[in-house]
Amino acid sequence: MHGGLARARDIRRAGIGRGRLRHAVDEGALTRASRGVYGISPLTAADVLRAFMIRMPANAVVGFHTAAALLGFGVLDSHQVHVVIPAGTAHPRVKGVVAHEAVLSTEDRVIVAGFPCTSPARTAIDLARAVRRLDALPVLDAVLRSGRCDMDDLSNELECHYGLRGVRQARDLLPRADGRAECRQEKRNTKQEARGN
């Protein structure tokens, strides 16, 4: 078991056949967390994320929107799990998972709630390069507001992304980032309230 989860093949190796496994699922004792991965019911969101990671290559790390949420500055919603894998690494196509191939190393990682994640600065710059300009600045504001990194960390990380797609957008926006800025939702609500009065 990997933190309460197990692959179907490992369950079978333990002497539990397909019939018994299916019965355990039907009875509610086990739940399928992801294709070929089962856990003890009820499953948590962390269990489901762990199940996805079990199916990824060993060098995969949580990144982008998912890492930002785990790190405490997730201001962009995503219904998918985002992972980062080294370019050229074979990986399974898993429904609900977006695998971002990266030429940058995934060795600079942090562990959050038991999950390997891209560092806060890397996560913020990856997002600032990849998302719409309208969404990128709130990400930079949020990471600074979280205290997970500072402007120097972001500037140093930005240098590592030289020549990569979207780096110009991130470079343009970084000087405007302000950890004291209100989140975009708060600004929108304030404007709506002002119109209503």
Count CB atoms within 10 A of the CB of residue 94: 18
Name the CA dihedral angle for 181, 183, 184, 189, rounded to a multiple of 10 degrees. -110
Q: Nearest to residue 92, comparing CAs of 156, 46, 36, 16? A: 36
- The model carries a pTM of 0.85
Half-sphere exposure of 57 (CA within 13 A, CB side): 17
At residue 108, the pLDDT reads: 85
At residue 109, the pLDDT reads: 93
Grouped pLDDT means (10 residues each) for the chain, 197 residues = 81 90 91 92 92 93 98 95 94 92 91 96 98 96 96 97 96 95 49 42
At residue 4, the pLDDT reads: 83
Tell me which amino acid residue 139 is.
V
At residue 183, the pLDDT reads: 54
Count CB atoms within 10 A of the CB of residue 115: 18
At residue 182, the pLDDT reads: 67
Q: Which stretches within the chain are classed as H helix? A: 8-13, 18-26, 45-54, 64-71, 120-130, 133-146, 151-160, 167-173, 184-196
